[in-house]
Amino acid sequence: MAVSYNIKTGADTSCYFSREVTQSDKPNSEEELGLIKDSVEQDTDYYEYPTLVRRTGDSLAGTTDNIESNELRKGRTKSAPRKGNSSSEGSLDFELSPETYDDILEAALRDKFKPWESDTKSPSNLDGKTFDAGKIATKKMEGTEVKDDSKLLLGGMSSDAIIKVKDSDLANYEIAELNCGTQDIRYDVVKQFGGVEGEDLYQDFEHLSVNSVDMSITPGQIVTGSFSFMGSNNPDLVSKETLFEAKGDGTTTEFVITDKPATVNYVKVDGTEVTLGENKTFTAVGDGTTTEFTITDKPATLKSVTVDGSAMVVTTDYTYTPSTGVIEFTEIPADTKEIVVTYVTGACVYDAVTGKVTFGTAPVNEKDVVVSYNGIVKVLTGRFKSSKDGMKVSNWIDNLPKKGTSTDQYTAQQGFLYINGERVRYGSNLSFSLNNGLSKTFAIFEKDAIAMSPLSLDITGSLGVYLIKGYSEKLYNMCTGDKDVEVLFCFQDKEENPDNLYVVQIFKTKFTSADMSSGAENLEVTLPIQSFEERAMRIFRIRKRKAIVAVAGTVTGSAGEYKLPVTVKLSTLPENWAGNKPKVVYKVGTGSETEFDMTSVNLDTESGRTLKSFKAEIPFTASPSTIEVSVEYNDNKLDKKFDVVVS
């Protein structure tokens, strides 16, 4: 009989990115390192995880070294190869679009986007110069001489700015700056091989760092690029159940809720609710004759027993009978010696200060440990400790996002290129690469790579120009004359009044050679680029102020009168708030749409941030399956849907 299979294809493969907790986050304990984050909030951005990343393809893969033996075996045969160190690496190929890759660009440059007003406070201003508002340090040409200069980055139509927009729209733009830094940003990346329902397979790549970013610009084409990654493990290819079901291990008694809620509603082990109790201490004093002492709470187990400060060992030093609460010592505690017994009433206890749920007896191996609080349900064990605020999450994977960003790709049609302050309109191609020079480190008795360390930062590229008298020879002679070269180029989504722009500035480079290829078609000059010195490069992100994200909070109230606080985060300035408040519409369950009254709503005005927020409390009377929120702001519309649980 013929066989038939459901074969996986690249069209049904998805990549989900989540940032991990690193030392840069200053975690409370070593146990938090490597945990997956729900979100990251910064001065200009709010990233939610996991996020579905758009791509044209990827080559992420794990590897494990094969070690060959030099043993001499009878019959000229070889010993079986042994497995060595494991790690992962590969690339994610993309077509550049606004917003989509801001998070990963931060990881590539090892810093974060920060609000920018002028170069006076820019990390790139190593000489401490003072600049007028809105001006950047750049170059200008005076004859054959290149001199330092400053120029307005963004201005009105009558200004001499590099980028000009309508005067009436100027206040609606925000500028953020991303420099080369030293921040450690790592990802957990889950590859989902989809297709027929119920047959999905997964790989979980841990501790991935961005090694390099490459981009290429060609006339008439979409701007393309790739990020390359290095990680620590060679993940198995597994089903949903194997990868994502969080289990007890039979020995662990403490589980951490990273949110540290004030209280928890319930704790379940293997689907059964267990009793929440409290930490207690029993004390007594030895009299030289008594060996038995009774603990009236009759806890199921004891956490610790000491006599005169010395730890006692169960069976060897004492026995305990839960049904009677009697602890019996094998040796009589001496007169006046203090006996201290610690235990947990109920099956477990919750400590709001540490966020720990502590069990008297470790949950049995392979049993789920689940906690509910603030309308949220979380699985505590395993690496997947995330949930989206306000959502009931029984399994991390069940709530993977269904779509990525929806912004259009940048093309080579809109934008500009400046070399040493002069506009270049005759370029045939441009490419650049930033490489962190990551190096893997392995340790004895450790299977996976223990570190990916950045070495020398290397920024290179290539500029192609058509050979035109009066223009191209300037660039060609910059190479032969060993001149310093500043490269400034821009991607924008529209020719006039763009909504989104990226401006890349590579401060000091050399054209390392000049190659003229001759053929039947146009004669071109190819100029390889090599960056040098401390400032390296930076990226400006210029965009119209918009609604970034809406985040649901803790359900409040009681039967019949509930409220769901929703935090709306905007990219805005406080002075623009009064006359430019967003329109907020919500729908509870299958009910009708209701517009939220914004009259008395005030904007959070935390200084040093362009990402501001306000809260809207959405009322409802019964537990709906969903609450939908729509925010309209600056010709931008944001739609969010929340699954709501009332405990």
Q: Hey, what are 405's tokens?
A: 């960003």
pTM across the whole model: 0.77
The more confidently predicted of residues 411 and 605 is: 411
- pLDDT tens, residue by residue, 596-625: 988 888 888 777 788 888 888 888 887 767
Q: Is the pLDDT of residue 364 over 70?
A: no
Angle at alpha carbon of residue 218, lines to 215 and 220, rounded to 5°: 130
First to last CA, the chain: 54
Q: Where in the chain is the domain with CATH 2.60.40.10?
A: 547-643
pLDDT for position 210: 97
pLDDT for position 622: 77
pLDDT for position 610: 87
Q: Is the pLDDT of residue 647 over 60?
A: no
Average pLDDT value for residue range 3-26: 84
- pLDDT tens, residue by residue, 55-77: 999 999 999 888 888 888 888 88
- pLDDT tens, residue by residue, 509-533: 999 999 887 665 778 899 999 999 8
Q: What is the mean pLDDT of the chain?
A: 85
Q: Are 569 and 46 in contact (CB under 8 A)?
A: yes
The more confidently predicted of residues 646 and 206 is: 206
Distance CA 442, CA 449 (A): 5
Q: Are 557 and 644 in contact (CB under 8 A)?
A: no
Q: Which CATH number fits domain 547-643: 3.40.250.10, 3.30.460.40, 2.60.40.10, 3.90.1660.10?
A: 2.60.40.10
The more confidently predicted of residues 6 and 123 is: 123
Give me the DSSP letters along 625-644.
Answer: SEEEEEEEETTEEEEEEEE-
- pLDDT tens, residue by residue, 534-570: 889 999 999 998 888 888 877 777 777 888 888 899 8
Q: Give the CA distances from residue 294 to residues 14, 221, 320, 323, 324, in Å, rounded to whole numbers and listed in that order.
A: 59, 81, 10, 11, 8
- pLDDT tens, residue by residue, 622-635: 776 788 999 998 88
pLDDT for position 392: 27
With H, G, I as helix, E, B as strand and everything else as coil, classify residue 476: helix
Confidence band for 246, pLDDT divided at 50, 70 and 90? very low
Return the exposure string of 476-504: e unless at least 16 CB atoms fall within 10 Å of the residue's CB, then b.
bebbeeebebbbbbbbbbeeeebbbbbbb
Determine which helix (DSSP H) or strand (DSSP E) holds 280, and give its type and residue range: strand 279-285
Average pLDDT value for residue range 135-147: 85
pLDDT for position 387: 33
Q: Is the pLDDT of residue 216 over 90?
A: yes
With H, G, I as helix, E, B as strand and everything else as coil, classify residue 74: helix
The CATH number of 116-179+414-434+443-542 is 2.30.110
Q: Is the pLDDT of residue 390 over 50?
A: no
In the chain, what are the helix, strand and coil shares in percent, each to the nearest 5?
A: 10, 45, 45
Q: Is the pLDDT of residue 578 over 80?
A: no
pLDDT above 90: percentage of residues in the chain:
43
Confidence band for 277, pLDDT divided at 50, 70 and 90? confident
Distance CA 263, CA 402 (A): 32
Backbone angles phi, psi at 272, to 5 degrees: -105, 130
Q: Hey, what are 249's tokens?
A: 């291990």
Listed in order, strand segments (DSSP E) in 68-200 are 82-95, 114-115, 135-142, 145-152, 154-155, 163-164, 173-179, 187-193
SS3 for 306-345 is EECCEECCECCCEEEECCCCEEEECCCCCCCCEEEEEEEC
Q: Is the pLDDT of residue 645 over 60?
A: yes
pLDDT for position 248: 41
pLDDT for position 303: 82
Return the exposure string of 346-369: e unless at least 16 CB atoms fall within 10 Å of the residue's CB, then b.
bbbbbeeeebbbbbbebbeeebbb
Q: Hey, what are 402's tokens?
A: 């269904």
Distance CA 26, CA 148 (A): 40
Q: Is the pLDDT of residue 391 over 50?
A: no
Q: Is the pLDDT of residue 395 over 60?
A: no
pLDDT for position 225: 97
User: Which architecture characterizes domain 10-60+84-113+183-244 according to CATH?
Assistant: Roll (2.30)
CA 157 to chain centre: 38
β-strand partners of 611: 571
Distance CA 387, CA 383 (A): 12
Q: Is the pLDDT of residue 639 over 60?
A: yes
Q: Which residues does 603 contact at the CB level (< 8 Å), separation at least 6?
A: 570, 572, 574, 577, 612, 613, 614
Q: Is the pLDDT of residue 255 over 50?
A: yes
Q: Is the pLDDT of residue 576 over 80?
A: no
The more confidently predicted of residues 345 and 52 is: 52
Q: Are 174 and 542 in contact (CB under 8 A)?
A: yes
pLDDT for position 251: 62
Average pLDDT value for residue range 466-471: 88
Average pLDDT value for residue range 267-283: 83
Q: Where in the chain is the domain with CATH 2.30.110?
A: 10-60+84-113+183-244, 116-179+414-434+443-542
pLDDT for position 424: 94
pLDDT for position 247: 37
The more confidently predicted of residues 109 and 274 is: 109
User: Which candidate, 501, 499, 488, places its Cα nearest to that of 538?
Assistant: 488
Q: Which residues does 230 contact at the CB level (< 8 Å), separation at least 6?
A: 87, 88, 89, 208, 209, 211, 438, 440, 449, 452
